[in-house]
Amino acid sequence: MPVYNQIEQLPDLVAKCQQNMPASFLIIVDNGSDDGSQEVIAKSGFEFVRLDKNYGIGYALRIGAQKALERQCDTVVNIAGNGKMLPEQMSRVLEPIEQGLADYVTGSRFLKGGESPNLPLFRKVSIPMVVNTLVGLLYWVKITDTTCGYRAYKTEILRHPKIHWQETWLDHYQFEYYLYAKALKLGYRCKEVPISMIYPAAKKNYSKIKPFIGWYEMLEPWVLVALGIK
């Protein structure tokens, strides 16, 4: 779970994690928080990695992936540190892998059984009509939610010789989408499951994605992998 300056949401999120998983299950990567989140993390009882500054969400997720490999885990699960994803729904993204039905699973707020209360109109329109459509055309697949960060995948994907997940260009938003794109490209079994993403009612501070730069970083891996450049 990557975290960067989420003091408003983090105490409740950590409490839910404590209720829904053993302490050994979760690693929190603190991406240089300076708003008090670091104290909450240190007292959480979960293993954590404290970075001296924000190196990017992809950098933090790659630390988690490396930790999973070092522990010889079979599966990695990513959950956001902003409180929009529910720890109690983690079994939904894990279940298809545990049942041998998938290698890579991503949550979808748009599938039947999923929800996204207070989802900003821009995302409600742009994700299905722009991002999902682009990915569908590039990979000839139907995906209902390409941008949901609630994901689970087998660690064997990280060991594939054609997946170069430790390259530094993946330090920001690229990592999540690069791994998903490579899983599709290489024929891994990919599956979506319905999940909830809870947005703040005020529709303020709901995301740290910077317009244009962040959007480019999210779309870049899909295009580069589809063209065989990466």
Return the axis-axis angle of helices 132-139 and 213-226, rounded to nearest 10°: 10
Give the count of beta carbons closer than 10 Å to the beta carbon of residue 198: 18
The mean predicted confidence, pLDDT, of the chain is 94
Long-range CB contacts for residues 52-55, cutoff 8 Å, separation at least 24: 54/4, 55/31, 55/171
Half-sphere CA count of 20, side-chain side, radius 13 A: 14
Q: Environment class of residue 156 by beta-carbon count within 10 Å: exposed (0-12), middle (13-18) or buried (19+)?
A: exposed
Closest CA to 119 of 152, 159, 148: 148
pLDDT at 205: 57
Q: How far is CA 132 from CA 80, 120, 182, 217, in A?
A: 21, 17, 16, 15
pLDDT at 122: 87
Residue burial 65-93, b: 16+ Cβ < 10 Å; e: rest: beebeeeeeebbbbbbbbbbbbbebbebb
What is the band of 230 on the pLDDT scale with cuts at 50, 70, 90?
very high
45-104 confidence digits (pLDDT tens): 999 999 999 999 999 999 999 999 999 999 999 999 999 999 999 999 999 999 999 999
pLDDT at 101: 98
Domains parsed from the chain with CATH numbers: 2-226 (3.90.550.10)
Helices in 21-173 by DSSP H: which ranges?
A: 37-42, 57-70, 90-98, 121-126, 132-139
* pLDDT of residue 206 exceeding 90: no
130-156 confidence digits (pLDDT tens): 999 999 999 999 999 999 999 999 999
Total count of residues recorded for the chain: 230
